Structure 1
Amino acid sequence: MKTKFEEIVDIKRFGENEPVDLNELAKLAATEQVSKSDEKILFLGVDLQNDFLEGGALGVPGSFKDLERTLQFLYDHFDKISHIAVSLDTHFIQQIFHAAWWVDQEGNHPDPMTIISVEDVESGKWQPVKHKEDSLAYVKALEENGQKQLCIWPYHCIEGTTGVMLESQFAKLIHFHSFVHDNPIKKVVKGKGFSEMYGIVQPEVGSEKDESLLSYLREFDKIIVAGQAESHCVYESVKQIVDHYHEDHAFLKQIYVLTDGMSCIPGFEEMSERGWTELRKSGIQLVNSTDLKL
């Protein structure tokens, strides 16, 4: 490829929310010619948004280095990667995993990272401001299904804020790719419902799946996954795909997760390691970005 990496992105400006000039990118892309692969290869970027990167409301330590390696991988395999999809975690202030939803007996809202259990709700330690029956049923469903307990996250990825936007340098490279390959970026919005929604396929509580997205993913010969955070949205996204296609072993063997393109929310490392150990049994491959040759 003629266009240099540094002509598209500036790794020194990670997190600066630099405007993405699509008209300039279009001009630069018009000078580019690539030899496109016969394979359909998808890069799936999970929640590579300002609020999940360092300095963001729920910034993941190490995410800038993860992003640098991810961008270099995308550039190095620019010809081979035919399509790009991204998820966009999108929330409101008044959601069950935000502090505004809950109060204690003195009317105080919980601090970020507070875990709320069924016992906490039933004892009155934490009470929902509204939707009391539904809220208790939700917390019970999480525990009964053996899923992650309800965590009160810092306000993040609030619709209409800069935090919900794709990180600018990442946005520039993937839109440049879209111009050159003449393929649209698939943008998957998640997290606007009542339930938490870590994974891209379905919420934590509820049986509804994004069947259209699942069908879209199955169109590809290979899928490469990276993003934030490893312990939550990346892991749950991959797990949901594995759960749905658990009998399609040939397909699952062509899913590659970039181990150096994601990091855990602190405190969840051990849980994450156990989860990936189980998922590996399905055939998915966890690989370093510099070791994966497409």
Structure 2
Amino acid sequence: MKAAYEDIVNTNHIASFVSRENIADILALAQHEHIAPASQDVKRSLLLAIDVQNDFMEGIGSLGVAGSKGDVRRLTKWMYRNLKSLTGVICSLDCHSMMQIFHPVWWLDEEGKHPAPFTIISYHDVVNGVWTVANGETGRSLEYLRKLEFEGKKQLCIWPYHCLEGTSGAKLESEFTKMLYFHAAARNAKPKLVYKGQNPYTEMYGIIKAEYDQEHFVNHTVLNAIRAYDAIFIAGEASSHCVLASVEQILEHYATDRSITSRITVLEDCMSPIAGFENSTRQRFEELKDTYGVQIKKSTEVAI
């Protein structure tokens, strides 16, 4: 590599308001690498980067995840070390409007006040009048809550407003973005950005599908892309929610094909859980490892 890691990423600026992408400078650096294009890779490898966005960055995000700065540093270093053999990158991006079922503005209590962030709202809370739907969408909201409980999904949590369309919080973290586009230019490999979470009636933690929606949307584009790679590496934020849900959904789809599930490696030091979910997250990933043959490794242990 002609460009040093430090020429691309300023680790002091990760999750920082002073960070700027300067993409033109990054692309100019990449032009001097003269690396074979990704299309010529015999062994094809994919990085699936889940929600590496400003609003999930500690210190600057409305839903910042403790440890996320270090995750970005380790992930970008892994990308740099494996640049010549990393074929493609798919990035998921949470993308919301203000009026969504998991945001405070959707709900009102008996005094006409919106719930505080991290409030849990159940089906029986709404039936008993503890919470009412501010926009009149009571039937659809009750259906969603009932389905969550019936199917054993996560309870509805009211999250702080995050990743709102058009805001800086919805953007990819800037230093990660630099490495993403350095890779793209050096390998002539366009990154794929996948937006999720735009349905106002549901939460969509995973990249493949929502917790529940009437349309039963499934992102077959991503699933088919995964099938086309020999090795798939997964990282991002938060490990307890969006990363875990994405891994579970992919494994659920390919449950009968261990030749695909065993290709997946979770980069455990390039993701962090939301506080309070540390033990349950670790336990669940171990279960997936035992059931599907998923590998769980530190980025320093993995070379493509």
- TM-score band by shorter chain is over 0.9
Return the letter of the residue paired with 1:208. Answer: F
Cross-structure match for 2:45: 41
Three-state SS of the structure 1 residue aligned to 2:302 is: coil
- Please report how far the alpha carbon of residue 269 of structure 1 lies from its aligned counterpart in structure 2 after TM superposition: 2.1
Structure 2 match to 1:233: 242
Asked if residue 66 in structure 1 is aligned to residue 71 in structure 2, the reply is: yes
- TM-score by length of structure 1 reads 0.97
- Give the partner amino acid of 2:116: D
CA distance in structure 1 between the aligned counterparts of 2:271 and 2:207, rounded to whole angstroms = 16
| Structure 2 letter corresponding to 1:185 | P
- Unpaired segments of 5 or more residues in structure 1? none
Q: For 1:181-196, what aligned pairs fall within 5 Å after superposition?
A: 181-193=187-199, 194-196=201-203
Given residue 241 of structure 1, which amino acid in structure 2 is its aligned partner? I
Structure 2 CA distance, aligned partners of 1:136 and 1:269? 30
Runs of 4+ in 1 over 3 A off after TM superposition: none
Which range is displaced more, 153-162 or 204-213?
Answer: 204-213
CA-CA distance at 1:22 after TM superposition: 2.2
Match of 2:261 among 252, 261, 264: 252
Structure 1 residue matching 2:235: 3-state secondary structure = strand
2:101 aligned residue: 96
CA-to-aligned-CA distance 1:23-81 (integer Å, 9 cap, x gap):
22221111112356421101111000000011210000011111111111111111111
Partner residue in 1 for 2:299: 289
Report the CA distance between 1:6 and its aligned residue.
0.3
For residue 128 of structure 2, what is the aligned residue in structure 1?
Answer: 123
State the AA in 2 paired with 1:293. Answer: A
- Is 2:248 the counterpart of 1:243? no
Equivalent in the alignment of 2:15? 15
Cα RMSD of the aligned pairs, angstroms, is 1.1
Report the alpha carbon displacement of residue 160 of structure 1 after superposing the two structures with TM: 0.5
The answer to whether the aligner puts 1:178 opposite 2:192 as a matched pair is: no
State the partner residue of 2:3: 3
Q: Once structures 1 and 2 are overlaid, which stretch shifts more, 34-43 or 122-131? A: 34-43
Query: Any unmatched runs of 5+ in structure 2?
Result: none
Aligned to 2:93, what secondary structure does the other structure show?
A: strand
- CA deviations 1:158-215 (Å, max 9, x no partner) are 0000000000000000101000110110000000002100000001103220112211
1:215-242 deviation line (CA, Å, top 9, x unaligned): 1111101010100000000000011000
CA distance in 1, matches of 2:283, 2:111: 38
The aligned length equals 294
CA positional deviation for 1:279: 1.2
